[in-house]
Amino acid sequence: MMSADTSLRLSACTAAIAVFAALAAATPPAGAADAAPAKATAATVAKGKYLVSTSGCTDCHTPVKMGANGPEPDLSRMLSGHPEGLKMPPAPVLPEGPWIASVGATMTAWSGPWGVSYTANLTPDADTGLGQWTARDFRATIRTGRHLGRGRALLPPMPIPVVQNFTDADLDAIFAYLQSIPAVKNRVPEPVAPGAPVAVK
């Protein structure tokens, strides 16, 4: 015997199946990524440049050098991260207390409770920068705070909680701009764990 309630549920199911069938007909192909990245037009690149230059990206990702008027960004290494040739000595050990981090003079090497981190090469160099990345990889990195959205966690001082607030369109524009700048071959060292060096064997 079928109760009124059951019969109502079956009617609702019939309606649901109709809706389902209509939606299924419009199913996109499998594996379709979220939104397609914006095409990199001149306007997109310009927007990306504006966002990069107003959001402090260069503060850490472009090495600082000493110029005639004091410290200034080394534009020959624009956004290429910690210089490969600059081997940093061991970071100073800070005493107990409220001081928590040390930074190299280039502003590209940072030491703190997370170990030592070096800022990344954001230029489109294929081997050492973002040359093989896609806009999806870039978005995923910023959204998740993980390398490529899948690998190790990004380390301080990268302000993930700030840049996570960019929209997808913002991130696509930033990525388009980063892909448009001169590629700099610069293999940034791997981060160093706190305490002893990373054991490799």
Partner 1 sequence: MPENTRARTVHPIVNRATLPLATPLRHLAAALLACAMLASHAADSEPPPHLRDTGLGARGVMPFSPQYTLWSDGADKRRWLWLPPGRSIDASNPDAWQFPPGTRLWKEFAVDGKPVETRYIERRASGRWAYATYVWNADGSDATLAPARGASALGGRYSVPSRDDCQACHGSAAVPVLGVGALQLSPERDPLAAHGQLPRAGDVDLHTLVRRGLVRGLPPALLATPPRIAADTPVERAALGYLHANCGHCHNGSDNRVPLRLTLAQSVAAPVASRDAALASLLGAPSRYRPPGLGGAPQVVSPGQPDSSVLTLRMQSRHPQVQMPPLGTQVPDTEGSALVHRWIQHDLAPQPPRKEASP
- Binding footprint of partner 1 on the chain (CB under 8 A): 6, 9-10, 12-13, 16-17, 19-20, 23-24, 27-33, 115, 127, 132-134, 136-137, 140, 143-144, 146-153, 155, 187, 189-193, 197-201
- Written as six digits, the tokens of 177 are 């701009």
Q: Which is nearer to partner 1, 96 or 201 (CB)?
A: 201
| Dihedral sign computed on CA atoms, order 133, 170, 150, 161 | positive
Tell the smallest beta-carbon distance from residue 65 to partner 1 (Å).
25
Q: Which is nearer to partner 1, 64 or 91 (CB)?
A: 91
- In whole angstroms, how far apart are CA 165 and each of 35, 121, 151, 161, 168? 17, 22, 21, 7, 9
Q: What three-state secondary structure class fits 189?
A: coil
- Identify the DSSP state of 97: S
Q: Which is nearer to partner 1, 49 or 146 (CB)?
A: 146
Q: Which is nearer to partner 1, 43 or 193 (CB)?
A: 193
Tell the smallest beta-carbon distance from residue 66 to partner 1 (Å).
29
Tell the smallest beta-carbon distance from residue 181 to partner 1 (Å).
18
Tell the smallest beta-carbon distance from residue 38 to partner 1 (Å).
17
Please tell me the distance from the alpha carbon of residue 56 to that of residue 73, in angstroms, as a whole number.
Answer: 12
Contact 141, 16 (CB under 8 A): no
